[in-house]
Structure 1
Amino acid sequence: MKLFSGTINNLENSLNYSNLKQKVIAQNIANVDTPNYKSKEVLKTSFQSELKSAMQAFKTDTRHYDFTNASARTSFPVVQNSNSSYNHNGNSVDIDKEMAELAENQIYYNALIERINGKFNSLRTVISGGK
């Protein structure tokens, strides 16, 4: 029996994803007026496909998830959006889209922090004997 489930590792991996996404969004916003700057994004489908494949690998119950393989992935691909141009100067940053993604990522990050705090509070309760 494992003392710690892989949930903490998965939450850490998710926080790494959110952190990288925050950096990429901030970089896009900082370069909103830079001529010929092409916006970047973290590939969300890569993270979701990794999660889905890991969920399918653990077949005892569809609600169960084996986190051991998901924690091994620590990098997420960042791609440059070179297909479009929103400004006359060749810049492809859409500030409204970036601000919406920033708000969405902040909500995601806060939810992860709440969840990991809950896990640590549960561990503290177990260690202290329920007091």
Structure 2
Amino acid sequence: MDLNDIPVLSAIGRRLNWLNKRQSVLAENIANANTPNYRASDLQPQSFKELMRGDLDRISLNKTHDSHATGTLQGENGGTRVKGFEVLPSGNSVNLEAEIVKVAETQINYQAITGLYRKQMGLLKIALGKSR
């Protein structure tokens, strides 16, 4: 059995991947804080619907009558970069204070999601009869 077959663990994995990508983008922004004409970027926020997208695609409604709705979902791409809004005279749009706040926010989210992962793994061990 693959752990990615468990919906909550699959969602946790997707969230960790998003946080990893965001941390890379933010590090790139900070590294280019003094580069002329560099435009800061960030990932679009990940919505719960997007986070559960893979699991919801596998779920289908049971249609017992022709007049029932099918309940189709359309996914969105959460990996698109968006431009910054504050630009220095050199053309650089990196605001170090804002980037540091984003890095700290990403770190807090990473710690929370890894804590959730540990709890889920503990529950699986209990369910399998293997105590800590």
Which category of TM-score, normalised to the shorter sequence, fits these structures? 0.7 to 0.9
C-alpha separation between the residues in 2 aligned to 1:97 and 1:9? 31
C-alpha separation between the residues in 2 aligned to 1:89 and 1:31? 12
Match of 1:9 in 2: 10
Match of 2:116 in 1: 115
Instruction: Indicate whether 1:30 and 2:31 are aligned.
Output: yes
Return structure 1 stretches of 4+ with deviation > 2 angstroms: 49-52, 75-78, 128-131
- Deviation of 1:51 after TM superposition, in Å, equals 4.3
C-alpha separation between the residues in 1 aligned to 2:57 and 2:113? 16
Max Rg structure: 2
Same amino acid, percent of matched pairs = 24
Structure 1: gaps of 5 or more residues: 55-65
Structure 2: gaps of 5 or more residues: 59-74
C-alpha distance 70-100 of structure 1, shift in aligned 2 (>3 A): farther
Question: 2:84–2:93: 8 Å Cα contact kept in structure 1?
Answer: yes
Letter of the 1:79 counterpart: R
Match of 2:49 in 1: 50
What pairs up with 1:47-126 in 2 under 5 angstroms? 47-48=46-47, 50-51=49-50, 68-69=55-56, 76-81=78-83, 83-85=85-87, 87-126=88-127
C-alpha separation between the residues in 2 aligned to 1:119 and 1:82? 37
C-alpha separation between the residues in 1 aligned to 2:117 and 2:84? 37
Question: 1:40–1:78: 8 Å Cα contact kept in structure 2?
Answer: no
SS in 2 for 1:41: strand
C-alpha separation between the residues in 2 aligned to 1:129 and 1:40? 45
Question: 1:51–1:70: 8 Å Cα contact kept in structure 2?
Answer: no
Number of residue equivalences:
113
SS in 2 for 1:89: coil
C-alpha separation between the residues in 2 aligned to 1:49 and 1:121? 24
TM-score normalised by the chain length of structure 2: 0.72
- Deviation of 1:48 after TM superposition, in Å, equals 1.3
Question: 2:50–2:78: 8 Å Cα contact kept in structure 1?
Answer: no
Match of 1:58 in 2: none
